[in-house]
Amino acid sequence: MSTPDFNLLVTLDVLLAEGSVARAARRLRLSPSAMSRALARLRETTGDPLLVRAGRGLVPTPRAVELRERVSRLVQDAEAVLRPAEKLNLKQLVRTFTLRTREGFVENFGPDLIARVGEEAPGVRLCFVQKADKDSTPLRDGTVDLETGVVGKTTAPELRVQALFRDRFIGVVRMGHPLSQGEITPSRYAAGRHIGVSRRGLGGEPIDEALTPFGLEREIVTIVGGFSTALALARASDLIASVPERHTGNLRAGMHSFPLPVSTPEITVSLLWHPRLDADPAHRWLRGCVRDVCAEQLTDSSARAARPARGPLV
């Protein structure tokens, strides 16, 4: 078997991006006839016409559509491998990074992350936007640089994923609430009036499934779209909020938190980004900042939780 000409990958990438032999020729600084010959070689190599005439223009075949993103990724990876390594000068870096997160992440990890970024790279600005769904389009089209959240079935398969921390759901009530004292049993917990959290306005959570074997069901009197809203309602009423523990640490200040009396699966909060930014030095540095800040804060929280309470001075 003859070795394929890998230079054709660059030609194919430009042809599929431009959808025109003439425009691709100009971009690659080739003559139209040379580009036509290259297209003929690509057709022979792939066994597919790739671009076919439709009226006065060309349209991609299904095979070309299938190859477009894969070829683009291969070319970008090859360029990153062959590009000389550049030492990142953080003090001179001027760039805005957009991070897409759910509420609670910014309140808990944002201050330390902003402080660290400001100290190491004063010219870098962080723009936080709300994560209303799990749609991967913002990462794909480049409007978002980084995202945090739980990987789901709708997460795009090509995204890079790295776990940040594991979290569990806990119950939260206002100080002085009946559940702030005494043992929390499944029946006491279920007997209260609850706040449901769902971005789509639907009920049904792992907590409800965990209560089913006990023959119990929560009375969910209202459903909100986020954890911060649920905690605000619980703070000002006798309602019970059930939220991720680590994700909402600062939001729960001045409230009473307690472990759920039923077993629910932990969730893994991850960092997600598009592979085209994988080798970008500035992006790699920012990913490291996010990972370190999350790890440091979780270590500090564990140390505070393990520290014995001090008794009264005598």
User: DSSP readout, 244-261?
Assistant: ETGGGTGGGTTSEEEE-S
- Same domain (yes/no): 103, 217: no
- Same domain (yes/no): 50, 175: no
Indicate which CATH number applies to the domain containing 152: 3.40.190.10
Note whether residue 314 is domain-resident.
Answer: no
The last residue of a domain, from among 20, 52, 82: 82
- Same domain (yes/no): 38, 73: yes
- Same domain (yes/no): 121, 95: yes
- 3-class DSSP state for residue 232? helix
Q: For position 314, what pLDDT does the model report?
A: 27
- Same domain (yes/no): 187, 223: yes
- 3-class DSSP state for residue 197? strand
- Residue 151 belongs to what domain range? 90-167+268-304
Q: For position 237, what pLDDT does the model report?
A: 96
Q: For position 76, what pLDDT does the model report?
A: 83
- Same domain (yes/no): 52, 186: no
- Same domain (yes/no): 192, 203: yes
The packing angle between helices 32-46 and 21-28, to 10°, is 110
Q: For position 2, what pLDDT does the model report?
A: 64
Note whether residue 193 is domain-resident.
Answer: yes
Note whether residue 154 is domain-resident.
Answer: yes
d(CA 208, CA 218): 7
Note whether residue 1 is domain-resident.
Answer: no
Note whether residue 2 is domain-resident.
Answer: no
Task: Return the structure tokens found at 253.
Answer: 């200040």
Q: For position 234, what pLDDT does the model report?
A: 97
- Same domain (yes/no): 295, 248: no
C-beta separation of 293 from 165 below 8 A:
no
Note whether residue 313 is domain-resident.
Answer: no
- Same domain (yes/no): 176, 260: yes
- Same domain (yes/no): 18, 99: no
Q: What are phi and psi of 119, to 5 degrees?
A: -75, -40
Indicate which CATH number applies to the domain containing 63: 1.10.10.10
Measured between alpha carbons, how far is residue 21 from residues 130, 147, 255, 265, 267 in Å? 41, 37, 65, 54, 49
How many domains does one find in the chain? 3
Q: For position 84, what pLDDT does the model report?
A: 66
Q: For position 204, what pLDDT does the model report?
A: 53
- Same domain (yes/no): 126, 110: yes
Sites in the chain below the pLDDT cut of 70: 1-2, 84-86, 199-204, 298-314
Do β-strands 124-130 and 240-244 pair in parallel, antiparallel, or remain unpaired?
Answer: unpaired
The last residue of a domain, from among 22, 56, 82: 82
The last residue of a domain, from among 61, 82, 103: 82
- Same domain (yes/no): 199, 125: no
d(CA 209, CA 52): 54
d(CA 141, CA 161): 17
pTM of the model: 0.64
Note whether residue 111 is domain-resident.
Answer: yes
Q: Is 243 exposed, middle or buried (0-12, 13-18, 19+ CB in 10 A)?
A: buried
